[in-house]
Structure 1
Amino acid sequence: MIPPAAAPAFLAGIGWGDAAILPLAGDASFRRYFRVVDGGRRAVLMDAPPPHEDPRPFIAIAEHLAEQGFAAPAIYGRDLADGLVLIEDFGDLRLKEYLEEAPADEMAVYGRAVDLLADLHRHPAADLPPYDREVYLREAGLLTQWYCPAIGLSVDGGAYVAAWDAVLPLVERNAVPGVTVLRDYHAENIMLIDRPAAHGLGLLDFQDALVGHPAYDLVSLLQDARRNVPPEIELAMVARYKAAASPAGDFDAAYAILGAQRNAKIIGIFTRLWQRDGKPRYLSFLPRMWDLLERDLAHPALGPVADWFAASIPANMRHRALEGIAAA
C-alpha cells in the first residue's frame, strides 16, 4: 500500500500538500484507498489507476446521489489522468463491523438500509445504461467461465444461457420504469454516519451503477456474500421493502431470479480472484454463496435454471469443492 507517485503533487495542488497519506484499504478491483490527514482535516484518496479503472462514473453517480439527498462522498478534487480522487471521509464504522459488536441492532439497522433503497427508488433513475439481458447473461456466465473449469467440469454453456433466457423475461417485464441500481449495496459498503436526513447511512462503491430492477440491490443487501443475514431478517426486510415501495409484478419471483443471477456471478468472480489474481481468501465465501444460490433456485420461477444446475454440477462439486483443489 505505497501511495501512488502522483499523489503528493495532486494533494499539494488542491490545498492538502502537508497531509500525511496513510494506507486504508484495497478491494477486489485495482482500486486502492488511503486516508489523508492534515491536522484536524481528514479525507480519503481513491487511487483508480488507468487503464484498469476510470473514476469518472464514481464521480458522476456520487454527484447524482448527493443531489437527491443521499450521503455519497463529496468530491474535493480530481486528477483523471492519474486516476486520483480526493473524497469525503465517512470514518471507519461500516455496517458489517457495527453489527458484529451490536447484533441486537440488526433488525433496526437493516430497516434503515431498506428504507434508503425504497427512498432511492422513488427518485428518477440516474442517466445510466440499462441492466439488460446482455449484462445479466455476461455476469451469470462467469460461473461457467471460471468455476466449472476450476473444478474440472465441462458443461453445456449454450444450455446454461438458454435456461437464463427462459427466466429473465419476468425480471425485464417488472423493471419498467427502472431504478438506479448501485449493484454492490451490502454491509461492507454502507457506513454509519451522523446524517439523519440520509437515513444515517453513507454510500460507497457505486461506480458500476446501472438502471434496472428494484429487487437487485435488495438482494445484494440481504444475500450478502461476506456476512450471514439471518433468514428471519431477510424475510422481514423484503416485506418491509414491499410495504414501502409497492413494487410491480411478482416481486418475490424477481427477487429469487436476481438472487440466483447475482450469486452465480459472485461464485465466478471469487473463483477468478483466487485463480487469476492470487487472492485465495475469497474461496472462504463460496460455501455461503452456494447456500444462497441453492435457496434461490428452489423458487418455482427458476425451474429451467435449477434443472441445468441439477444436471450439470453435482452436489459434491459445490460448496467447498474449490477449497480442496486450492489446498492440493
Structure 2
Amino acid sequence: MTSFSPVVEARGLRRRYGSAQASGFTAVRGLDLTVRRGELFALLGTNGAGKTSTMELIEGLARPTAGTVKVLGHDPFRERAVLRPRIGIMLQEGGFPGDLTVAETVTGWAALASTPRPVAQTLDLVGLGERAAVRVKQLSGGEKRRLDLAVALVGRPEVLFLDEPSTGLDPQARAAVWELVRELRDEGTTILLTTHYLEEAEQLADRLAIMHQGRVVTGGTVAEVIADRPARISFELPEQPSSSLLPLPGTEVRFAGRKVTVRTTELQRTLTELLGWADAQGVTLHGLDARSATLEEAFLAIAAEVGAPEPDDEPTTPARRRGLIGAQR
C-alpha cells in the first residue's frame, strides 16, 4: 500500500560532466524529487533530458556535483554496501558474460542478496524458466531484457529501479512484464521507472515527472498532468456545416468537409452544450467520439512548449556500461 513515507528523496540535485568552462555540461540542474513508499513513479523525458544522469545519482553509481539524495534514508553513493541488498537495478543493458547460462547468471547475483528468491522461481517470474540452461549469448534481445529483470528481482528488493524495462519485447512479453510490475507494486515494492513508451507510464504509474534539460518541468498523477490539456470531440454532420452553426464558446473547432473536430479543456461542459445544440436543431451527430487527452499528447505539447533539448546528450558513464549493482541502469 502506498503511503506518504518517502523512499527516494532528492533535493537540489546537480550533476556536471567536465570542467566549469564552456566544454563542460550540466545534465541535472537543481532537481527535486520524492518517491513514496509502495508507489510506482515514472521518470519521463526526451533524449538528453537528464533521466539517465538522474537515475545514476539515485542508484549510487555516481556522486552528485551538488545537492543530496537519499534512498531508504541512506546516501546511495557513500552507503552503497548498506543499500545493495535492499535495491534491485535493471539497467538498459546488463552486459553479462555470454558463456554463462541463464541460471548461472542469476545464481551469481543471488549470492549477493541476504534472502534471495530461488533461482528457478525468479526465472519463472520473467518467463525464462525453460531457458535456464541456455547460454546468455544465445538469447534473443527480448530474452536478454527479461534476464536483466530477473537479476534485478532475485534479491527481493524493497526498491526497484527499472530502466526502459520493456524495450525490445514483443507485445505479449511486454504485457507480461507490465502485469509482473503491477504485482510487485501491489506487494509493496517501491518502483522508479524510466520509459520512452508513454502508454507504459500511463498504464503503470501512480505518479510521474517529465524532465527537460535537467529539470522537472511538470509532475503529478497522469490525470493531473493531462488535466489542462485539450480533450477532443469528433463527429460527422449530415451536411457540410459552417462555424456559425456551432455555438461552442471557449473551444477550438475544425472542419474537414462534414467532419468536425472540437478541442476543449472542459470536456463535460462542451459535450453537454453540443448535445443540447444537436437536439434543438434536430441534427444527428454521426460517429460521435469524445475522449480526454492522452499522456502522449500532453508530453508532446509540454516538449513543444519548453523547446528542444540542448545538443549535448547525457553521457553513458563507464559505471553504467559495466552494469554495476545489479541489472540495468
- Shorter-chain TM-score range: under 0.3
- Structure whose residues are more often strand by fraction: 2
Higher relative contact order (CA 8 A, sep 6+): 2
Compare CA radii of gyration and give the structure with the larger one. 2
Could you tell me the TM-score, scaled by structure 1's length?
Answer: 0.26
- Structure whose residues are more often helix by fraction: 1
Could you tell me the TM-score, scaled by structure 2's length?
Answer: 0.26
